[in-house]
Amino acid sequence: MLAVDRQQSDPVLGDGELEAHLKSLTLRAEQGDAEAQSTLGLMYSIGEGAPRDYKIAAKWLALAADQGEADAQAMLGAMYLDGMGVAQDLAVAFKWMTLSANQGEAMAQAQLGAMYSLGLGVAQDYEVAFKWITLAAEQGIARSQFNLGVMYTDGVGVAQDYKLARKWFTLAAKKGEPNAQTNLGRMYLKGWGVPLDYKAAAKWFTLAAQQENVVAQNNLGLIYLKGLGVPVDTKVALNWFTLGAKKGEPNAQYNLGVMHGNGMGIPQDYIQAYMWLHMAALKNLSSAQMIRDRVAQRMSSADIVQAEKLARECVANNYQGC
């Protein structure tokens, strides 16, 4: 669900003051005050200052939205998009997002761009998606800045332009957006729109990996394994591959399997190697299938059976205890 950014934080109130504040807001809302209705809708939707109740939130937001409150329109659109407090209805979500976005509400612009990009509640249209995502990005919405960077990278809805992709990824990355940090790291690693800079790649991958971005964790493992912008450190590489692998990232599972098979930073263990490679292979990673089969040639039939059993148990336990 969308959150509404507030420029000023509300003062901290005691329990008695909160109750009085809620009663006062409710009275104003019942008298038709759109701002009070919108505020009540927000309070009930997030459970701050009022018990969380999505149906009551939707009621107040609908009243405020009908009066043209842009924040309420955006939040109500989000509730219809997610089916929270109301029956999911993408067409109605699209209606409210459009009304809010046309008033300049940044989060609605961001969501409307995503809806056009994905074809949710409206025919897919990348050029229109680009328009709305740009408007949201220019208002500082980090996720839209990331999405805009992706569109420039892939040439979707706009001509491919790595320099503009880097610009938007950088803006989002500096706000802490982990996907933007990951993509920016890749640009420095590959030299896309920027000079090759392994240290910069390592920096951005590290920031994203610390936020549990699995692609960054795998890439950071490769950075340490190959010594790109950092000293070679197989143990650190192993740690990052393990973190990514235990979140189900197939490339990290592949790399972890290779390290077990070659005894890199860890004692050689074909059963563990086969186990991780097998899990990656089941996700249709062709390189994992090939290396797994090579490892199998060095194993007994009993060891292969054990490795496949361990892989099944690992997945069933959500990678806990692998």
All structural domains of the chain with their residue ranges: 31-139
Q: What is residue 11's three-state secondary structure?
A: coil
- Predicted confidence band of residue 238 (pLDDT cuts 50, 70, 90): very high
CATH number of 31-139: 1.25.40.10
- Eight-state DSSP code of residue 12: P
Predicted local distance difference test score (pLDDT) of residue 14: 54
The Cα-based distances of 119 to 112, 125, 126 in angstroms read 10, 7, 9
Average confidence (pLDDT) over 141-157? 97
Predicted local distance difference test score (pLDDT) of residue 21: 86
Note the pTM of the prediction, 2 decimals. 0.87
- Predicted confidence band of residue 303 (pLDDT cuts 50, 70, 90): very high
Q: What is the C-alpha to C-alpha distance for residues 133 and 304, in angstroms, rounded to an integer?
A: 50
Nearest partner of 82 among 58, 52, 117, judged by Cα: 58
Predicted local distance difference test score (pLDDT) of residue 311: 97
64-79: per-residue pLDDT in tens?
999 999 999 999 999 9
Q: What is the C-alpha to C-alpha distance for residues 143 and 2, in angstroms, rounded to an integer?
A: 12
Hey, how many other C-beta atoms are within 10 angstroms of the C-beta on 272? Answer: 19
Using the predicted structure, report yes or no on whether residue 91 has a pLDDT greater than 50.
yes
Predicted local distance difference test score (pLDDT) of residue 17: 78
Using the predicted structure, report yes or no on whether residue 8 has a pLDDT greater than 50.
no
Total residue length of the chain: 322
Average confidence (pLDDT) over 269-282? 98
Hey, how many other C-beta atoms are within 10 angstroms of the C-beta on 89? Answer: 14
44-68: per-residue pLDDT in tens?
999 999 999 999 999 999 999 999 9
* Helix 178-190, helix 162-174: angle, nearest 10: 140
